[in-house]
Amino acid sequence: MSDLSIPQEQEESVLERVLLVDDNPINLQILHKTLSNGGYQLLTAEDGETAVQIATETKPSLILLDIMMPGMDGYEVCQILKSNPDTADIAVIFLSALEDSSAKVKGFTVGGVDYISKPFQVDEVVARVRNHIKIHRLERQLARRNIELESENHQILNAVSEGIIGLDKDGRITMLNPSATVICGWAVADCLGEQLTALRLFEVDENIEMQEHQILPYRSYRMGQSAHSDMEMIRRRDNSFLPIAITSTPRAEGGAVIVFRDISEWVDSEEALRIAREELESQRQNIAHMERLNTTGAMAAGIAHEVNQPLTAISNYSRVAKRLLEQEQLQREQLIELLDKLDVQSQRASEVIQRMRSYVKKPSGALFEVDVNEMIREVIALAEVDSRINDVSVHFEPQHHLPRLSLDVVQIQQVALNLIRNAMEATAVANSSSQGVMVKTEQQGNTIVVHVIDHGVGIALGEEDQLFNPFYTTKANGMGIGLSICQSIIQAQGGTIGFLRNPQGGATFYFSLPLA
């Protein structure tokens, strides 16, 4: 805070003018002698007209003014001085022999700051003059400091990049800083005194005329409430639109101050970030799709065998039917039985193909409400090929009546199949296929958790921090992206994935999915 006191050397170097006015020369002599050693520049006048002339020309800091004078009395002199802007700030101390309170009240009414009764005491005159000169100096310093502060405020308002608009209590514009004119496209002269609504800043729809109560600053200048928006669209003078962040704050004396900034670059960067995220998600889905194709390739021999079995059966049943027809020995009941068997084998082959088609297709990204247990059953059916190849059975222990979830089914099935196939391979390597693989589902709080438990070789010490890293693998022919993709899929669904070492050997991999 600035020190408003006057340095001693400055007080000594500046002589304050004091005008003494009295129609009695003796009184003037006494006042002059009393104040002559006070460090003042003393001026005198013996009548009201002369006092007004001297005060207008010299602008003294203080006037000691006699009330009872012929012609123009002290009251009239004071009224004339106070009516003139150039002399209105001069402090006036009245001198009078009148002791009644009405004289004093009238003196204060016309603009006097103090009152000294005649005959005056020397010490009283000296003290009152000294105090009012000190007050005058402080007022002068305050005025100078106010001018400096106004200049500083003006420089700050001109320098800030935010637009600032001042409003009165009726929503009329009282000030705009340069940034506000640049952002809005309006000149200061076109805005001052206008209603904020007249600029149509907040009318972003040509077909809708905004009412005053619908604009954000209304709550501040009409209701005394602060208001903020991270993004509002405004209409500039050229009818282009601009996104801004805006805060409106009420003023203690009424009205409001609006502070806003152009956020078009931020909006553009957010759009670029959104596009980048979409591209990243697309790449992630493409990689996941490639991994599903790789998994399908790894399962190709088993799938071919799985499909070939019903096809062979269909072929055999067809030959039997043909032979019986040729021998005219086919009975109606036999034909129905053969057709039923053909249908069963056809359905069997169709189911295998349909499961694989569903698994390898690119996901649409749409979420579907599913029964988690039914989804896991389909995955286990899909893994039957590997189950027979590895001679490892898969057991399923579902928790019944689980809540349905909204999921990207294909991708979650990919995670489950990846974990189940890994578990079967680990179990087969450890020669513990008799114990098989266990899959469990359960609800834990606001999530559904799927556990895949194997009795394989387990997770080696030191590998736990790398398991989900891209391109890390313990398989001779592995790419090292399976678990990494699983993690990204589960995290995209808002879930978690991890593993535990089983006390009896092997590992449990699990993933959780949040309830809708």
| pLDDT above 50 for 11 | no
| pLDDT above 90 for 448 | yes
Extended strands (E) in 67-184: 91-96, 114-117, 163-167, 173-176
pLDDT at position 316 is 61
The residue-averaged pLDDT of 148-172 equals 82
Q: How far apart are CA 129 and CA 117, in angstroms?
A: 14
120 and 245 both lie in a single domain: no
Q: How far apart are CA 249 and CA 267, in angstroms?
A: 24
15 and 93 both lie in a single domain: yes
**484 φψ region: left (φ > 0), alpha (ψ -120 to 50), beta (else):** alpha
pLDDT at position 48 is 92
- pLDDT of 330-366, one tens digit each? 666 766 766 666 666 666 566 556 655 554 555 555 6
pLDDT at position 2 is 40
Q: Which of 290-304, 377-391, 401-415 is least confident?
A: 290-304
Query: What percentage of residues in the chain have a pLDDT greater than 90?
Result: 24
CATH number at residue 73: 3.40.50.2300
Last-in-domain residue among 133, 154, 175 = 154
- Specify the 3-state DSSP secondary structure of 22: coil
Q: What is the CA radius of gyration of the chain?
A: 48
Note the pTM of the prediction, 2 decimals. 0.40
**Does 321 reside within a domain?**
no
Strand partners, 501: 507
pLDDT at position 280 is 56
133 and 252 both lie in a single domain: no
- pLDDT of 169-184, one tens digit each? 888 898 888 888 888 8
What lies within 8 Å, CB to CB, of 80 at 6+ separation is 52
| pLDDT above 50 for 479 | no
209 and 191 both lie in a single domain: yes
Q: What is the mean pLDDT of the chain?
A: 79
- pLDDT of 59-110, one tens digit each? 999 999 999 999 899 999 999 999 999 999 999 999 988 777 888 889 899 9
168 and 146 both lie in a single domain: no
The torsion angles phi and psi of 95, rounded to 5 degrees, stand at -115, 130
- Specify the 3-state DSSP secondary structure of 406: strand
Count of positions (residues) in the chain: 516
Number of domains observed in the structure of the chain: 3
The residue-averaged pLDDT of 296-323 equals 58
What lies within 8 Å, CB to CB, of 39 at 6+ separation is 11, 12, 15, 16
- Specify the 3-state DSSP secondary structure of 162: coil
Q: Which of 204-208, 244-248, 471-475 has the highest mean pLDDT?
A: 244-248
19 and 149 both lie in a single domain: yes
Which residue range forms the structural domain that includes residue 33? Answer: 8-154
42 and 177 both lie in a single domain: no
pLDDT tier, 387 (very low <50, low <70, confident <90, very high otherwise): confident
If one compares 431 and 451, the residue with the highest pLDDT of the two is 451
pLDDT at position 450 is 95
Contact 69, 93 (CB under 8 A): no
pLDDT tier, 199 (very low <50, low <70, confident <90, very high otherwise): confident
513 and 369 both lie in a single domain: yes
**CB 121: neighbour CB atoms within 10 A?**
11
If one compares 157 and 250, the residue with the highest pLDDT of the two is 250
If one compares 35 and 384, the residue with the highest pLDDT of the two is 35
**Does 401 reside within a domain?**
yes
The torsion angles phi and psi of 136, rounded to 5 degrees, stand at -60, -45
85 and 191 both lie in a single domain: no
**Does 319 reside within a domain?**
no
Last-in-domain residue among 91, 126, 154 = 154
| pLDDT above 80 for 317 | no
Contact 5, 139 (CB under 8 A): no
The residue-averaged pLDDT of 127-133 equals 91
pLDDT at position 234 is 81
Last-in-domain residue among 225, 245, 262 = 262
**Does 360 reside within a domain?**
no
pLDDT at position 265 is 82
Query: What percentage of residues in the chain have a pLDDT greater than 70?
Result: 72
**Burial tier of 2 (Cβ tally within 10 Å: 0-12, 13-18, 19+):** exposed
119 and 211 both lie in a single domain: no
What lies within 8 Å, CB to CB, of 471 at 6+ separation is 479, 480, 481, 484
**Does 462 reside within a domain?**
yes
pLDDT at position 198 is 76
pLDDT at position 45 is 94
